[in-house]
Amino acid sequence: MSTLFTEPRGRFAVRLDPVALDALHVFAAAVHPLETGGVLVGYYDGDKLAVVTDVLGPPADTIHGPRALVLGVAGLAGYFAAIWPARFHLGDWHTHPGESPPVPSDTDHATMRDHALGNAALSLILGGTPGAYALSATVYEHGKPVALRAA
């Protein structure tokens, strides 16, 4: 599975550390076929590349359903305060169990528009089933979704 995703015109890209990609698979498989999610942690390398170094699993107050997810916030404020400014919150991730390739839903778009940090936020969606996952990456640029391509 690719660990590099690029904006179609090459304006920016997202790279996942292999450890972060492995963590996504482990979190997803742990609750399959329920949805799960969490937050993406990392830094910017220059002004074009976001590097995801860590994937946090679902906070304790997360609610999982077969076709629904309410991502919790427990513990996140303290975590981000401790790692700032070396690394920070780049965006969120969640799963679409059984759906391959995963496509952001209308709800996903609305949630990311509401939660966008500053002027850009990253959303990763892992679809499929354990052992056969596919990943999509979308950047919300001023609230508008930009689908990235696996490079």
- Cα 15 from chain centroid (whole Å): 12
Per-position DSSP letters for 11-76, written without gaps between them: S-EEEE-HHHHHHHHHHHHHHTTS--EEEEEEEEETTTEEEEEEEE---TT-EE-SS-EE---TTH
Q: Please, which residue, 5 or 108, has the CB nearer to Zn ion?
A: 108
**Shortest Å distance, C-beta 96 to Zn ion:** 5
Q: Toward Zn ion, which CB reaches closer, 11 or 33?
A: 33
Half-sphere exposure of 134 (CA within 13 A, CB side): 13
Residues 79-108 that bind Zn ion (CB under 5 A): 105, 108
CB of 7 to Zn ion, least distance (A): 21
Of 54 and 99, the one with the shorter C-beta distance to Zn ion is: 99
Least Cβ distance, residue 3 to Zn ion (angstroms): 21
Name the residue nearer to Zn ion (CB basis): 74 or 103.
103
Tell me the number of residues near Zn ion by CB under 5 A: 2
Positions in 19-38 near Zn ion (CB under 5 A): none
Residue 124 tokens, joined? 């990763």
Minimum gap (Å) between residue 95 Cβ and Zn ion: 8
Nearer to Zn ion, 19 or 30 (CB): 30
Q: Which residue's structure tokens are 């920016």?
A: 12
Distance in Å, CB of 115 to Zn ion, minimum: 13
Burial group, residue 146, by CB count within 10 angstroms (0-12, 13-18, 19+):
middle
- Given the rule CB under 5 A, which residues bind Zn ion? 105, 108
